[in-house]
Amino acid sequence: MRKSLIALSVTAAILAGCGSDSKTPETVNTPPQSTDVAYDVAQSMDLSGQLEGSDAEGALSFSLVDPADVKLGTLTITNPSSGTFTYRSDAMEGTEVVRFKVSDGQYESISTLTINITGGDPLYAYQWHLKNNGQNAFAANRGVAGEDINVADAIASGVKGQGVVVAVVDDGVEISHPDLAPNIVPGGSYNLITGTVDPTPFSDGAAHGTAVSGIIAAAGWNGIGGRGVAPEAKVIGFNFLDSDPTGAVSSVQTFENFAKSHGASAYSDYARVFNQSYGYNVPFPHTFDEDENDVYGDIAQNSADGKGSIFVKSAGNGYNYYSWSGYYWLPGDYFDVSGDEKANHGLPFHNANMSTDNANVFNLVVSAVNAKGELSSYSSVGSNVFVTAPGGEYGDDDPAIVTTDRAGCDKGWTVTDDRPATPFAGGQHPLNLTCDYTSEMNGTSSAAPNTSGAVAMIMSANPSLSWRDVRYILASTATEIQPDIAPVEVPVGSGDSAVEYNAIPSWIKNAAGFHFHNFYGFGRVDVSAAVAAAKNYTQDLGSYIITDWQSHENLEKSIPDASVSGASDGIEIADDMVIEAVQIEVSADHLRLPDLAVELISPSGTRSVVMTPYNGMVYQGVMDPSDPTDYVPGFENTPMLSNAFYGESTKGTWTLKVIDVNSGDYSFILYPVQYVDIPNESQGVLKGWSIRFHGHKVASAS
């Protein structure tokens, strides 16, 4: 026992002599390890990935060796501690090789991330309307970066229009086109002339509906052509604007065919979006086609199990002039301006409210903007415009829209005969050797399908949305472009007594906080913002209400000649509703209608010019006054629509004002026939007007 104690004492002394109480052992730091990783990603899609690295002691940090290694897209390390990253590229194809390192603060290890980009669309890089980086889209001039409908985030998130059917009501659709065929509903289209399921136009030169369809839903990631706004939406086509070459069908545009193609038949009742890139201009006021209105109202409100459908409608291409009855109708000074001067006092010759189908609430009317983010030179405008979208210019000097054409160099717009006039047409450009695409699609005919594609994306992101929810989302998320745009003013009176009349106001902010402009409605469509809003939508719009017309008749109020005081009348509204649209009907005698401006002012003070002066209602210059069927005394229950009051209250006094801006000469051109003078009428008469509201009741407090 004593010996054991002595041995333990010696051991303890030896250990104490080694200094164990004053010095700790050194910590061993194992170098980190990293591993090469590889991923595949499609053009424009988001890749979420993981860099590989480990360390026995933990506490790693991931970073790029040289950020300049990333050449084809955007790579972001979202968590430096774990190595997660995101990547997106608009390149059609290619391989991104990026060096990354893992570090523990003392040692580091370097490996390679390889990203293979596959399945792109070669013409996507030229589709400025989807992503504008200042490309020229085969035109002489470039656009301005950022002036687009912002689809990138929506597409990258995986929303591509899935589950939504769009009806293209046009001159037909070439359903066999290789870039459209994947998204055509098999057997779902209808030829209104032959009764078959192939709506391909009869004329080889007819390509309008095919181009429209490509803007909406050209197939994505298939290695050919471009891409639609909603590249996985489905399309059905109707040749409502086609003609029968045999003459057996004298007119395709009957009410029966309208109903078949606009949702009131089994041929089209499963579509949720109807694209109408068509319209008409007439030089005299007219009233609604009530049969068509009934179809619009029923399908918009009651289809799709009560969620309703959206009718997208082009505003028109008549800002400068329009055609009707075999002639061009132009303002009298059209050929006299030069330099920066503008004809017609800078005002639209075709105000979109001149076409009564555009004054129908159930048509979502769209104006056009160009690649610079400004109103397209031709676009009709008005208080009935809901949003604007890319339409471009004509594709020679400034970019138009790149989209599908009829397949082959013997059909459509890009044909062999174009050689060598254009860089993209004619079958000689390496991206268009078979002439399947065009770089010259433009007009509000292009703005409408851009919007239809956007609507399909919104509905795809949230299939439970109603037609009114979609409109609310568009109004709430649209981009206010040209925020500092100046008003368009015209002089009223002469000499020192002349005053300026504000015929097209600058952007207004109404009492509900919505911004509005007669050029752009609520602004340019923003697809990604709209899709994000759709995914998180909580707005309750309540039950839809259309009020009865409330009227003041037999007013006989004088409209003084060339006076901004005008003739005014107010209607008191007792009900308190939230406005979604306002319609009026106006009756006023005046034998020179272009002299008149029509305003509507809300109880909150919001002023909307629903009919601009110097408009193209010039038929009075060629009418036969002795023929009662040809005589145009003025407005007669002429309908007009304004979206400027969206979200405001109906309650209070609504004021209509009719103003005569011109006591001087006035002429227009009936081209190519003659100049036509319309004598001045010194004093018109406001005979009466009516107003009705679309909206919902104010939500009660809980």
Residues catalogued as catalytic: 170, 208, 445
DSSP state of 351: B
Edge-to-edge strand list for the sheet holding 73-79: 47-50, 84-89, 73-79
Planar angle of CA 589, 352, 137, nearest 5 degrees: 155
3-state class percentages of the chain: helix first, strand second, coil last, to nearest 5: 20, 30, 50
Angle of helix 208-217 relative to helix 444-461, nearest 10 degrees, comes to: 30
Work out the angle at residue 373's Cα, subtended by the Cα atoms of residues 371 and 377, and round it to the nearest 5 degrees. 75
Q: Where are the alpha helices (DSSP H) in 358-466?
A: 444-461
My answer on whether omega of the bond before 420 falls inside 30° of 0, hence cis, is yes
Question: What letter would DSSP give residue 646?
Answer: T
Please tell me whether residue 403 adopts helix, strand or coil conformation: strand
The amino acid at 415: V
| Residues 352 and 358: beta-carbon distance below 8 Å | yes
| Euclidean distance between CA atoms 639 and 112, whole angstroms | 66
683-697 vs 545-546, strand pairing mode: antiparallel
- Tell me how many helices (H) and strands (E) the chain has: 8, 35
Q: Is 294 helix (H, G, I), strand (E, B) or coil?
A: helix
One-letter amino acid of 361: V
Strand segments (E) across 380-421: 385-390, 401-404
25: cis peptide before it, omega within 30°? Answer: no
Q: Which of 324, 295, 193 is nearest to 253 (CA)?
A: 193
Q: 625: exposed, middle or buried (C-beta count within 10 Å: 0-12, 13-18, 19+)?
A: exposed
